[in-house]
Structure 1
Amino acid sequence: ALRVLGVAFRPMDAVPETCNSDVVEQKLTFVGLMGMIDPPRQEVKDAIKIAQGAGLKSVMVTGDYKDTAEAVAKEIGLLTARGKVFTGAELDAMSQEALTEVIEDVEVCCRVSPQHKSKIVEAFKAKGHVVAMTGDGVNDAPALKRANIGVAMGITGTDVTKETADMVLTDDNYASIVSAVEEGRIIYSNIRKFVYFLLVCNVGEILIVFFSMLFGMPVPFRPIMLLWLNLVTDGAPALALGLEKGEPDIMKRPPRPTKEPVINREMAAGLITIPIVDTVAMLLVFSIGLSRYPDSLGTAQSMAFVTLCMSELLRAYTARSEHYSIFSIGVFSNRWMNWAVLCSMFLVLITIYVPFLRPFFGTSFLGLTDWVRMIPFMLMAPVAAELVKIYLRKTAKHLAPALS
């Protein structure tokens, strides 16, 4: 992958009046060849492996000669045995439709001009790919504009390119693009966890109130209880989910379909199962409270209120991963979740055990016997959430061979 320059000289008594190649480059004495190399950065090879594992296809588009481009691509692990290499002249000879037909196998394009970049972008987009194109020159701006994500070089890039691009690499490093993809996946995953957790909580609360009225039971929660539940118990753990670290296989999953909704099939399975389990658990504990304290509706409501709060706080830990067991990622590895749950538990307990707050919330004191009866029902929804994960993991294993 050396760039080679030939070196020659010619002694002259004086500088000629006309300095052009026809006059100066005559009767030269050949000295030798000079090989120069611009080695790839050390982290690029690892970044390409990570990108390939994440289902991201990297294509080298360069102005170098074919031999140089092939050598560099092989060195960094980009060019495979079945990968195709096209030169700019070959791209000129191909129609847009012909390039689109073979673009899936193209891994290196060499001796290209900025106009070829636009042609390559359109070919990949025609195949339904989300395309990111890098560039640094003024002439690269059209290709960056046509790509789904235009990436400009922050150090060597021109102002025109930076203004056209969607993203600017401050270090001009390919590995930074892969890191950005990983961070984007983590953010999207945390948004899903946030939405999933709150949806399950709210759907469960709606079903509990609906079925209690359907069965002719008193309402299990006072309005202020539901308000406290949503503002305090649900809010803080949901925010902590947004600070969750990436799951171990976040860069080993294929890209999600561009038209896939946030609430997909996997999330729907949990949205159906967990609220139903929550509803059964809360109505049972509420019934126990009504039978144990027939003359105190407030105590039965307090049992249902505390049980639901504690159940959702425990389930917040299971919501930290959509597929992995809470024990495999570490129960207390998210310190923000730990603080959120502790604060929320404290705010729930003061409504029960601080006497002057009870009239505001309509709660009653709960003894040790009440807690013993409530604990099994607190665990039902978190256990159901973990069982849903087991089902999803088994389903994913069955689907993986078919998808590959």
Structure 2
Amino acid sequence: MITLPPSPERCTRGRRVYDNLKKTILFIIPSNIAQALLIIIALLAGNLIPLTPVLILWMNMATSATLSFGLAFEAGERDIMNRPPRKSNLHVMDGFAIWRVVFVGLMIAISAFVLEAWLQPRGYSPEFIRTVLLQMLVTAQWFYMLNCRVTDGFSLSKGLLANKGIWIVSAVLLILQLLIIYAPFMQMLFGTEALPFRYWVITFLIGFAMFLIVEVEKPLTRRWRKK
């Protein structure tokens, strides 16, 4: 005989699964928007292609896929049972979701363009510039994953250690990034170059700045959604 959990517990679990699915979608799409904008605008302007096909594959398979697993283990938000029932015709990609993915996608793309424009006059090789941009995009995704832990509240309100899955996938991602940037066979396969430590700091600061911008955007859009 199969014993089902009480109805409120089933409802909580269902809402948590739905929330985490939506968070994962909101996390993955902005990176794809940023990548597409970088390639399209570079082609139209006749500039250096900022990401090669293999680096795009790396972003999608090694970065997005790895980090999205962390969001799957997020606990339910505090108000999860205080919300009214979700309408059956309400889509996952509602107006707010579309705004968020476009906003973050544009922000990541603009940051990458500015960073590339700063690097170009300094005489770096195309491989070096692409490696810096790759690290910036990966770092931006990592910070945005933290943003996605809470849809419209402060991302760290749950505590940094509340979801151990996030730190496991973060450690895996760090190892992968060290390999693609510093391992000679990975450099040969992906066309990357070793980065000095200061570029890790620069890309970290850019990602942190974007994290703060999204945290400021959350209460603003929350007021807009309540109107």
TM-score (norm 1): 0.53
Distance 1:201 1:373 in 2: 19
Work out which of the residue numbers 118, 122, 147 in structure 2 matches 1:292: 122
Counterpart of 2:175 in structure 1: which amino acid? F
* Runs of 4+ deviating beyond 4 Å: none
What displacement does 1:217 show?
1.6
The corresponding residue for 2:40 is 210
Q: Secondary structure at the match of 1:366?
A: coil
What displacement does 1:382 show?
2.3
Distance 2:213 2:53 in 1: 27
Q: Indicate if the aligned counterparts of 1:282 and 1:377 stay in contact, CA closer than 8 A.
A: no
The corresponding residue for 1:261 is 91
Deviations 1:271-301 (A, max 9, x none): 121011001111111222222234x111011
Distance 1:244 1:302 in 2: 31
Show the 5 A alignment for 1:192-211: 192-211=22-41
The corresponding residue for 2:109 is 279
Work out which of the residue numbers 75, 87, 105 in structure 2 matches 1:245: 75
The corresponding residue for 1:178 is 8
The corresponding residue for 1:60 is none
Work out which of the residue numbers 157, 161, 175 in structure 2 matches 1:332: 161
What displacement does 1:227 show?
0.8
Distance 1:323 1:231 in 2: 27
Indicate yes or no: 2:175 matched with 1:351: no
Q: Indicate if the aligned counterparts of 2:127 and 2:191 stay in contact, CA closer than 8 A.
A: yes
Deviations 1:67-89 (A, max 9, x none): xxxxxxxxxxxxxxxxxxxxxxx
The corresponding residue for 2:218 is 389
Does the C-alpha gap of structure 1 residues 390 and 278 become closer, same or farther in structure 2, counting only changes over 3 Å?
same
The corresponding residue for 1:225 is 55
The corresponding residue for 1:235 is 65
What displacement does 1:369 show?
3.2
Deviations 1:310-355 (A, max 9, x none): 1101211111111121121223321001110111121012111122
Q: Secondary structure at the match of 1:184?
A: helix
Q: Indicate if the aligned counterparts of 1:200 and 1:275 stay in contact, CA closer than 8 A.
A: yes
Distance 1:208 1:320 in 2: 26
Counterpart of 1:387 in structure 2: which amino acid? V
Distance 2:74 2:67 in 1: 11
Larger Rg: 1
Distance 1:390 1:209 in 2: 32
Structure 2 unmatched runs, 5+: none
Q: Indicate if the aligned counterparts of 1:200 and 1:271 stay in contact, CA closer than 8 A.
A: yes
- Aligned-pair identity (%): 22
Counterpart of 1:228 in structure 2: which amino acid? W
Q: Indicate if the aligned counterparts of 2:136 and 2:204 stay in contact, CA closer than 8 A.
A: yes
Q: Secondary structure at the match of 1:218?
A: coil
Q: Indicate if the aligned counterparts of 2:139 and 2:203 stay in contact, CA closer than 8 A.
A: no
Distance 2:162 2:34 in 1: 27
**Residue-pair matches, total:** 227
Which structure's residues are more often strand, by fraction? 1
The corresponding residue for 2:143 is 314
Distance 2:45 2:148 in 1: 31
Q: Secondary structure at the match of 2:6?
A: helix
Structure 1 unmatched runs, 5+: 1-153, 155-167, 400-404
Counterpart of 2:129 in structure 1: which amino acid? A
Counterpart of 2:118 in structure 1: which amino acid? I
The corresponding residue for 2:204 is 375
Deviations 1:106-128 (A, max 9, x none): xxxxxxxxxxxxxxxxxxxxxxx
Which structure's residues are more often helix, by fraction? 2
Distance 2:205 2:47 in 1: 22
